[in-house]
């Protein structure tokens, strides 16, 4: 029977002062741990330190937006064309909106009272006045003597009325329009060529308290003498008021046109009052009037003013639609050409990604993200540029001169929205059509 071999004698460990004859490589479990914060100590490979809170994280190398980050100057032509196109269209739309806002702001006082006036005859026939005063919603009727001055706007000069009123009616009109006299002003004196007017209109004329406003080149019935500004109105809709007795004294009789200012009992009754008075003018027989009595009577309301404005400016928006289509078509064509050039410059990149295993669908998604991000950012920057430019223009130039300037609004968004859509479609159609015909082997051999 075989016997077990004797165990080898135990090795005596070397003395502390003597090194072993051959140091064995330590195993990972025997390796000394790295000191915290030292990326090179220890036997493990050094690892990249984790990003600390507050550090800016960079984009992953294969992110769809990495190309724009690394090639910002190459993306500026197409991105800049989108920004400028949006700014151009938004500016045109906003300037047209300024026409609308100029008129509604200038004649905004008709939100608080309506005007019953005449054409070709001197005053409203007595029986028509009687029917209008009998409307239940009419709270007060002020008989005014109007004169006309011209006011500068973004689209030229427009006539504005200065109403000559009795002192009691001046107080009531200021109350319903929300105005009050600014410090240092007073009401016009009886029989004096004096006027009080809103601050915006005073800025438009370039005058303050004590300044003079004259007829200028007005061809409508107006004063030939200048009037002194004795008060500035703040807080409400724009309006100008003068002393009625002075106007009756100096105006030629042929241009005196007594006008009825119909003030409702309350703002909520404004619509009902306008409907009732308009029925008197449009259907005189229902109110036992003759057609000839209302033939030269005109009833002015804010709603009618806005309706006429929309009708007058409708053709301008039609031309704007044509210009919008031309600009978008030109920018879309330019974007398609630039996208094709960029794709040619990046053939090696896409070929390398395809050789690494990126499927065409994944590359297509990458292109969609890149293009979509570019057009949306360009659209947003164009709108922000428009907002900033118009705010600056209004603060520096328009408001100090009493001119009305609109801001880019929903209409500007509506007219500029096709720009990113069509530009993105044109760019994607160009790139994707070539992407699906991409041969990565051919590209790698060519390089």
**132 and 229 assigned to the same domain:** yes
Domain membership flag for residue 10 = no
Task: Measure CA 107 to chain center.
Answer: 22
Instruction: Let me know if residue 205 belongs to a domain.
Output: yes
Same domain, 269 and 351: no
> Are 244 and 120 within one domain?
yes
Same domain, 242 and 349: no
Residue 14 lies in a domain: no
The number of folded domains in the chain is 2
Q: Where among 302, 322, 351 does a domain terminate?
A: 302
Residues 353 and 427 in one domain: yes
CA distances from 345 to 61, 164, 318 (A): 18, 74, 41
The whole-number pLDDT of residue 365 equals 81
Q: Quote the pLDDT of residue 15.
A: 47
pTM of the model: 0.71
Instruction: From 273, 302, 331, give the residue that closes a domain.
Output: 302
H-assigned helices in 206-301: 244-250, 270-282
- CA–CA separation, 287 and 185 (whole Å): 45
Specify if 27 maps to a domain. no
Residue 13 lies in a domain: no
Alpha-carbon distance of 294 to 298, in angstroms, equals 8
- Please give the angle made by the CA atoms of 284, 287 and 290, to the nearest 5 degrees: 40
> Which DSSP category does 219 fall into?
-
Supply 257's token pair.
Answer: 């046109």
Residues 70 and 115 in one domain: no
328 shares its domain with 404: yes
Question: Is the domain of 332 the same as that of 298?
Answer: no
Helix (H/G/I), strand (E/B), else coil: 196: strand
Determine which helix (DSSP H) or strand (DSSP E) holds 427, and give its type and residue range.
helix 418-435
On whether residue 30 sits in a domain, the answer given is: no
Residue range(s) defining the domain that contains residue 422 = 66-101+309-446
Is residue 212 in a domain?
yes
90 and 115 co-located in one domain: no
In a domain, 258, yes or no: yes
Q: What is the pLDDT of residue 37?
A: 43
- Do 192 and 330 share a domain, yes or no? no
Domain boundary pick from 302, 335, 363: 302
Residue 323 shares a structural domain with residue 277 = no
b/e code 139-151 from CB counts within 10 Å (16+ = b):
bbbbbbbbbbbbb
pLDDT in tens, the chain (447 residues): 444 444 455 444 444 444 444 444 444 444 444 444 444 444 444 554 554 554 445 555 555 566 666 667 777 777 888 888 889 888 888 888 888 888 889 899 999 999 999 988 889 999 999 999 999 999 999 999 999 888 888 878 888 899 999 999 999 999 999 999 999 999 999 989 999 999 999 999 999 999 998 775 555 556 777 889 999 999 999 999 999 999 999 888 888 899 999 999 999 999 999 999 999 999 999 999 999 999 999 999 998 888 887 777 777 778 877 877 787 777 777 777 777 777 777 777 777 777 777 777 787 787 788 888 888 888 999 999 999 999 999 999 998 988 888 888 888 888 888 888 887 887 777 777 777 776 666 666 655
Q: Are residues 194 and 223 in the same domain?
A: yes
């Amino acid at each position: 029977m075989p016997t077990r071999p004797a165990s080898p004698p135990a090795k005596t460990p070397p003395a502390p002062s003597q090194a072993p004859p051959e140091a064995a490589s330590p195993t990972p479990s025997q390796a000394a741990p790295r000191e915290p914060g030292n990326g090179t100590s220890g036997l493990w490979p050094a690892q990249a330190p984790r990003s600390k809170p507050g550090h800016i994280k960079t984009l992953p190398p294969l992110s769809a937006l990495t190309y724009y980050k690394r090639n910002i100057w190459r993306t500026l032509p197409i991105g800049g064309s989108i920004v400028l196109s949006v700014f151009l269209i938004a500016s045109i739309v906003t300037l047209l909106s300024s026409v609308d806002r100029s008129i509604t702001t200038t004649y905004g006082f008709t939100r608080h009272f309506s005007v019953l006036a005449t054409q070709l005859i001197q005053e409203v026939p007595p029986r028509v006045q009687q029917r209008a005063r009998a409307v239940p919603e009419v709270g007060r009727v002020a008989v005014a003597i109007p004169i006309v001055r011209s006011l500068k706007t973004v689209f030229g000069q427009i006539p504005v009325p200065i109403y000559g009123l009795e002192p009691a009616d001046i107080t009531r009109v200021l109350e319903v329009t929300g105005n009050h006299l600014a410090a240092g002003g007073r009401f016009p004196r009886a029989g004096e060529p004096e006027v009080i007017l809103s601050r915006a209109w005073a800025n438009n004329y370039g005058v303050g308290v004590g300044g003079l406003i004259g007829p200028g080149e007005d061809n409508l019935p107006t004063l030939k003498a200048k009037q002194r500004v004795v008060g500035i109105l703040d807080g409400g809709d724009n309006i100008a008021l003068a002393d009625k007795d002075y106007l009756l004294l100096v105006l030629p009789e042929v241009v005196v046109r007594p006008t009825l200012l119909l003030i409702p009992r309350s703002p909520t009754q404004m619509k009902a009052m306008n409907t009732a008075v308009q029925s008197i003018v449009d259907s005189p027989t229902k109110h036992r009037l003759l057609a000839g009595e209302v033939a030269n009577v005109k009833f002015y309301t804010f709603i009618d003013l806005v309706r006429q404005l929309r009708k007058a400016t409708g053709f301008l928006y039609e031309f704007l639609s044509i210009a919008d289509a031309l600009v978008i078509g030109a920018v879309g064509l330019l974007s398609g050409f630039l996208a094709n050039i960029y794709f040619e410059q990046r053939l090696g990149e896409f070929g390398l990604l395809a050789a690494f295993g990126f499927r065409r669908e994944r590359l297509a998604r990458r292109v969609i993200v890149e293009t979509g991000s570019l057009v949306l950012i360009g659209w947003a920057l164009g709108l922000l540029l428009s907002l900033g430019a118009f705010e600056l223009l209004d603060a520096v130039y328009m408001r100090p001169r009493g001119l009305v300037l609109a801001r880019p609004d929903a209409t500007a968004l509506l007219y500029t929205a096709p720009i990113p859509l069509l530009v993105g479609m044109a760019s994607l159609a160009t790139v994707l059509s070539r992407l699906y015909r991409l041969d990565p082997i051919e590209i790698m051999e060519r390089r």
